[in-house]
Amino acid sequence: MRKHSILGMLLILLLAGCAPSFDDEQEVVKDSKDKEETAIIPKYKISDEYYQTILPFEPSKARGLVVSNLNTRYDIEEFENGLMRLAQNQFNPDDYLFQEGQMLDSSTISSWLNRKYTKSQLKEKDLKASENLGLNPVDTGKGDIDKRNEENPIYLAHILEHNYLTKTEDNKVSLGGVVIGLALNSVHYYQKEAYGATYETKIDSKELKREGEQIAEEVLKRLRKTEKLKNVPITIALFEQNEKSSVVPGNFISYTNIEKSSNEIKKWNSVDEKYYLFPSTKAEKKYRDDINTFTNFKEDVEEYFPNFNGVIGRAFYMDNQLQKLNIDIPIQFYGNSEAIGFTQYVAGLVMERFPKYISVQVSITSVNGPEALIVRQANQDEPTVHIYE
């Protein structure tokens, strides 16, 4: 098995258009578990688009849950990265530091993801009324199972928390805001019997948004009951995840900013973001020019290896404008020189075929693993190319 180059891993972290900042490391005082501790703000900042973090690193109190609760790795990545992107509307990266969620632990989030229980179900499960915390609809267990699941699907799939810290003039950091992501199911999966076949029911987008907003109101009430969250601004964002078979991620549909001390959601802001598979009928109907550009690139690649037909892309649109295109090229090489020559050829195609205003990333892989990575950031004159050894 070929080992991935350490340089290649670092390259992924360094793919940002802005010059890094090399300010001196700063020691700060941070509140932690009701006591003050010394923490460090690292001197290196990848880009102005990213938040700095503090050391020592504190993992999320609900670490690992996102992997089991979301449908695909594409949804996991977009849910986490997209939530941080939306956070910038409220928490400027120049003024805030990032920290993984420290307020909601695994048991709390798991209990909130349950269905609401009836009195008889609470008794069967030996739970108290105060433990009836599920945010998903009740399933009485009576009547036709298909009808029950169609009328009362599981809307809420996961809850993700991000914390944003502020630094004061006396060199202390404290919680300055919280961002909560609510991942919602576009498709509800269920079984009629244990270990039986899996059935599914599609959830209408308008219905999902309505239910998500109602869940957000209850989440806000619960957050405000937490002592450390009574007086901080909170952002809540709704994410619609794709079905399990999808090869592109879902997308955020709306978000709301709640002022500190407020217990009320006054306004929801729509998010116009969408991922499309290239090539696909959906993308061709809506973005024909972009599909034509991709098709020309794809045909050029296939001319290099005439028997090859496996180029796929994942296009990210914001406000109906193509922002980013990630392309996968799985191919079999029969020598290092062949891989180098092909990579150089593809890098040239990236510069020739795609407009400068979009970011393009091409991953070339084989049965041995990653072979090469080509990245052309928006408005970049030269691509960054790495060939794994």
Angle between the N-to-C axes of helices 288-304 and 336-353, in degrees from 0 to 180, rounded to the nearest 10: 150
The residue behind tokens 């670092």 is: 10
Q: What is the pTM of this model?
A: 0.87
State how far the alpha carbon of 145 is from the alpha carbons of 7, 158, 184, 249, in Å. 53, 24, 21, 29
* Tokens linked to 301: 């690649």
pLDDT recorded at residue 10: 37
C-alpha of 46 from chain center: 19
Instruction: List phi, psi (to 5°) of 118.
Output: -80, 170
Residues 40 and 25: their CA atoms lie apart, in Å, by: 7
Domain that holds residue 334: 277-387
> Taking Cα atoms as reference points, which of 83, 59, 74, 261 lies closest to residue 160?
83
Answer yes or no: is 26 within a domain. no
Position 21 in a domain: no
Give the contacts of 354 (CB within 8 A, at least 6 positions apart): 293, 297, 325, 360, 376
What the block records as the tokens of 11 is: 């390259």
Give residue 27's pLDDT: 56
Q: Supply the pLDDT for residue 237.
A: 98
Say if residue 56 is preceded by a cis peptide, omega within 30 of 0.
Answer: yes
* Distance between CA atoms of residues 226 and 257, nearest Å: 18
CB atoms within 10 A of CB 254: 19
Same domain, 233 and 289: no
158-168 b/e (C-beta count within 10 Å ≥ 16 → b) = bbbbbbbbebe
Res 22: pLDDT: 37
In terms of Cα–Cα distance, which of 327, 353, 341, 352 is closest to 387?
341
d(CA 161, CA 124): 32
Q: What is the CATH number of the domain that holds 71?
A: 3.10.570.10
**Does the residue 27 lie in any domain?**
no
- Cα–Cα distance, 173 to 96 (Å, whole number): 10
Radius of gyration in angstroms for the set of CA atoms belonging to the chain, rounded to a whole number: 24
CB 155 within 8 A of CB 137: yes
- The residues, any chain, with a CB within 8 Å of residue 69's CB and separated by 6 or more, are 113, 157, 158, 183
CA 98 to CA 103: how far, in whole Å? 14
What tens-digit pLDDT sequence spans the chain (389 residues)?
443 333 343 333 333 334 344 345 565 556 655 556 667 777 666 666 788 888 788 888 888 888 889 999 999 999 999 999 999 999 999 899 999 999 999 999 999 999 999 999 999 999 999 999 999 999 988 889 999 999 999 999 999 999 999 987 777 888 999 999 999 999 999 999 888 999 999 999 999 999 999 999 999 999 999 999 999 999 999 999 999 999 999 999 999 999 998 999 999 999 999 999 999 999 999 999 999 999 999 999 998 887 677 899 999 999 999 999 999 999 888 788 888 999 999 999 999 999 999 999 999 998 889 999 999 999 999 999 999 98
CB atoms within 10 A of CB 46: 15
Is there a single domain that holds both residue 250 and residue 317? no
Please check whether residues 80 and 167 belong to one and the same domain: yes
Whether residues 256 and 298 share a domain: the answer is no
Q: d(Cα 348, Cα 346) in Å, to the nearest integer? A: 5
Q: Largest Cα–Cα distance of the chain, in whole Å?
A: 69
Yes or no: say if 199 and 148 are a contact pair by the CB < 8 Å rule.
Answer: no
Domain end: 251, 271, 291, which one? Answer: 271
Same domain, 214 and 299: no
What domain count does the chain have? Answer: 2
Burial of 359 (0-12, 13-18, 19+ CB in 10 A): buried
Instruction: Report pLDDT for 297.
Output: 96
Same domain, 101 and 218: yes
In a domain, 329, yes or no: yes
100 lies in some domain: yes
Domain-embedded: residue 30 = no
Asked whether residue 195 is assigned to any structural domain, the reply reads: yes
